[in-house]
Amino acid sequence: MNILIAEDDVHLREGLNDLFSQEGYICNLTQDGEEALNQFKEKRPDFCIFDVMMPKMDGFELCRKVRAIDDHIPIILLTAKGDEVDRVVGLELGADDYIAKPFGPRELIARVKAITRRTSNSPSQNKKQKTPFEMDHLIIDPKSLRATYGEKIIQLTMRELKVLEMLYENKGKVLSRLELFEECWGRRYMANSRALDQFISQLRQKIELDQSNPKIIRTVHGVGYRYET
């Protein structure tokens, strides 16, 4: 498997190269966001690891640009920051995981392997919605990552689509925060934080006609969220 690593710290960059090379991975090393984006377009790696704080283009912007090219490539963001707001931003941009420095090398390897297993072509992956489906006033098209309401077009991120798909496939059922995290983020990531609530709030701003009385993503206080027809 080919991994694109974007890290401006030369020592950490070389250390990551040694770590993954010992595990049998092929690494493509870059030192800034612009170089990483060019290498991504040219090499089309199987996995991406991006530092957040880099010259020329930071990891958030790089993640956004890569996601615009490829909706499915696994991405891990690395950062020295531990602020929850930064973690939420990274996840909203489509990162699959977010690891704060310093981190243990075995932990990073384990997360890469876990994400790789989750994003591989498995039967459960193939069961995902491929045809348009309706949720209240919206028609959602998974293939184009768009929701439409009349003439209005709403562009969705992959993670927003995953949340809506999960609610739709479990209509009438209350989904807990842990269930949503495990399905849409792949692990119990920040399960005790406000990250999911902030994510849902921003998604509601995009899709609900009346945010004070949501029809698509309803809150079940103390439990999670539900969609009812």
The 10s digit of each residue's pLDDT in 210-223 is 988 999 999 999 88
Query: pLDDT tens-digit profile of 110-132?
Result: 888 888 877 664 444 444 446 89
Upstream peptide bond of 102 is cis (omega within 30 degrees of 0): yes
- State pTM to two decimals: 0.55
Query: pLDDT tens-digit profile of 131-171?
Result: 899 999 999 998 888 899 988 999 888 788 889 999 999 99
Domains: count for the chain? 2
The two tokens of residue 114 are 């876990």
- Are 116 and 215 members of one domain? no
Measured CA to CA in angstroms, residue 109 lies from 19, 72, 104, 105, 209 at distances of: 8, 19, 9, 6, 43
- Are 12 and 111 members of one domain? yes
- Are 14 and 113 members of one domain? yes
Measured CA to CA in angstroms, residue 90 lies from 20, 96, 135, 156 at distances of: 23, 9, 27, 15
CATH number assigned to the domain comprising residue 142: 1.10.10.10
The two tokens of residue 108 are 């990073």
- Are 74 and 56 members of one domain? yes
Enclosing domain of residue 78? 2-123
193 pLDDT higher than 70: no
- Are 6 and 109 members of one domain? yes
Return d(Cα 62, Cα 40) in angstroms, integer.
Answer: 10
Q: To the nearest whole number, what is the mean pLDDT of the chain?
A: 83
- Are 115 and 133 members of one domain? no
- Are 160 and 63 members of one domain? no
- Are 80 and 146 members of one domain? no
Picking from 123, 156, 182, the residue at the C-terminal end of a domain is 123
Picking from 123, 158, 190, the residue at the C-terminal end of a domain is 123
- Predicted confidence at residue 87, as pLDDT, reads 61
Single-letter amino acid, residue 142: P
CATH number assigned to the domain comprising residue 50: 3.40.50.2300
Is residue 112 within 8 Å of 103, Cβ to Cβ? no
Report residue 92's pLDDT band, with 50, 70 and 90 as the boundaries.
low
Between these two residues, 179 and 17, which has the higher pLDDT value?
17
- Are 38 and 108 members of one domain? yes
- Are 151 and 80 members of one domain? no
- Are 108 and 138 members of one domain? no
- Predicted confidence at residue 125, as pLDDT, reads 45
